[in-house]
Amino acid sequence: MKKKPEQINKVSVLTLGCAKNVVDSEHIISDLKSVGIGYTQNIEESDAIIVNTCGFIDSAKEESVQAIIDACHLKKNGIVRRVFVTGCLSERYSEALKKQIHGVDFYFGVNSFPEIVHNLTGGKSSCQTGNPRTLLTPKHYAYIKISEGCNHECSFCAIPSIRGTHVSRRIEEIVDEVRLLADNGTKEFIIIAQDTTLYGVDIYRRRMISDLLERLSKIDNVKWLRLMYAYPLSFPEKLADVISRFPNICNYVDLPLQHISDKILRSMKRGSGSAKINKLLDMLRTKIPDLAIRTTFITGYPGETEEDFSRLLGFINEQKFARLGVFTYSHEDGTTAYKLKDTIPAKIKEERRNLLMAAQGEISLKKNKELIGKNLNVLLDEVRNGLYYGRTQWDAPDVDNVVIIESKRNLHSGQFVEITPNCADYYDLYANL
């Protein structure tokens, strides 16, 4: 086997977890490029591998640990020379990982881009080149992280202890980033943070998410803006007005609710009860026509009774959310809920999750059938096996529904097409062009 050169010329980056990690990896790659280190998706071409880990829940931690072990095997077999680990798991458990896994050259925490560059180059610092960051997504859409950290104290979540308190980026910096990406062909911009609705409070002394979206919507070539991770307690009514007023802001809101039982919400320290949640949902649907609300729930939280779960199931059937995901409760050390007894068996948690998703499947199928015969604007993401896969304005990448299109026309990813669905199943629409 050909011996790897001593100098690090190319790296590959394995990104695990949420879209916020994707943005972090993109910045790492861009910083390395600025000092002459290339990026490759082909591990066999790389001199080093960076594993950007997730430490949110048990399943994510297990996936990250296995990825680190696999990377160390690559190093042992001479495929790569060095292995670096960064991200949430590394921030949270680096000392334990060092004892369990041998072969990692260095563990970095979150937001450690300069340290990574310094270590890989033997002392160089990254420089700002003015180029758009290296997208790991298809060119036509990009995630825009508007803040870091979180000020909430949800009992089940370890993110504030990992990522720190809420820190916003300045509006001008975000506007410049979006304008640069738009000038280079990006059409959809997905706004993300731990809590997007708290944006601006720390530096402008008031919530500025409405002002930010309005500024971004006026940038040339911004075709779609999509809002993710909006915290229910912090949702300003003005934001609903802005979404409804600007046609290039998708009629879509990602609003993680987690539960509807007042008892469980209090224990979760969510800051709002069922009455306030229902009032917010009514306001959003009144102000924003054709709104798709995406939400997530947790089953099996400590103390969740059959009555609590039945109420949650009834709430889902009543509200008929457009998009929905369900997590089973993960007992995380360092959280306030960790002091509670995690007595609900994993089997019961999973059964409850399956019941919620079965209910959502029927809701989704009905909503999809209602779209048959209607004209829809679809953004194409990829071509696979002669079929085109795209999304409506009501669908975020990777987590929501897909439109599958047959066409004899020569289409390409990043193109908008008008389609009329002729068939539907639980989570997909089908159309011919």
> Looking at residue 336, what is its pLDDT?
93
The arithmetic mean of pLDDT across residues 363-389, rounded, is 96
> Looking at residue 112, what is its pLDDT?
79
Please write the tens of the pLDDT for every residue from 38-62. Answer: 999 998 899 999 999 998 788 888 9
> Looking at residue 126, what is its pLDDT?
59
44 contacts: CB under 8 Å, gap ≥ 6: 79
Please write the tens of the pLDDT for every residue from 199-211. Answer: 999 999 999 999 9
Binning pLDDT at 50, 70 and 90, where does residue 260 land? very high
Which among 359, 329, 358 is positioned nearest to 344, based on CA atoms? 329
Please write the tens of the pLDDT for every residue from 166-204. Answer: 999 999 999 999 999 999 999 999 999 999 999 999 999
The arithmetic mean of pLDDT across residues 312-337, rounded, is 95
> Looking at residue 243, what is its pLDDT?
97
> Looking at residue 349, what is its pLDDT?
97
> Looking at residue 125, what is its pLDDT?
61
Among the ranges given (130-144, 254-268, 286-300), the one the predictor scored with the smallest mean pLDDT:
130-144
Residue 5 has pLDDT above 70, yes or no: no
Residue 128 has pLDDT above 60, yes or no: no
Domains and CATH numbers, the chain: 10-121 (3.40.50.12160), 141-369 (3.80.30.20), 376-432 (2.40.50.140)
Neighbours of 219 (CB within 10 A): 17
SS (H, E, C) the chain: CCCCCCCCCEEEEEECCCHHHHHHHHHHHHHHHHCCCEECCCHHHCCEEEEEECCCCHHHHHHHHHHHHHHHHHHHCCCCCEEEEEEHHHHHHHHHHHHHCCCCCEECCCCCHHHHHHHHHCCCCCCCCCCCCCCCCCCCEEEEECEECCCCCCCCCCHHHHHCCCEECCHHHHHHHHHHHHHCCCCEEEEECCCHHHCCHHHHCCCCHHHHHHHHHCCCCCCEEEECCCCHHHCCHHHHHHHHHCCCEEEEEECCCECCCHHHHHHHCCCCCHHHHHHHHHHHHHHCCCCEEEEEEEECCCCCCHHHHHHHHHHHHHHCCCEEEEEECCCCCCCHHHHCCCCCCHHHHHHHHHHHHHHHHHHHHHHHHCCCCCCEEEEEEEEECCEEEEECCCCCCCCCCEEEEECCCCCCCCCEEEECCCEECCCEEEEEC
Residue 4 has pLDDT above 80, yes or no: no
Among the ranges given (113-117, 223-227, 406-410), the one the predictor scored with the smallest mean pLDDT:
113-117
> Looking at residue 132, what is its pLDDT?
66
> Looking at residue 8, what is its pLDDT?
87
> Looking at residue 129, what is its pLDDT?
47
Residue 258 has pLDDT above 90, yes or no: yes
Please, is 51 exposed, middle or buried when counting C-beta atoms within 10 Å of its C-beta (0-12, 13-18, 19+)? buried
Among the ranges given (115-124, 298-307, 335-344), the one the predictor scored with the smallest mean pLDDT:
115-124
> Looking at residue 113, what is its pLDDT?
78
Binning pLDDT at 50, 70 and 90, where does residue 1 land? very low
Residue 14 has pLDDT above 50, yes or no: yes
Across all residues in the chain, what is the average pLDDT? 93
> Looking at residue 53, what is its pLDDT?
93
Among the ranges given (112-126, 152-166, 178-192, 250-264), the one the predictor scored with the smallest mean pLDDT:
112-126
Please write the tens of the pLDDT for every residue from 64-116. Answer: 999 999 999 999 999 999 999 999 999 888 888 899 999 999 999 887 777 88
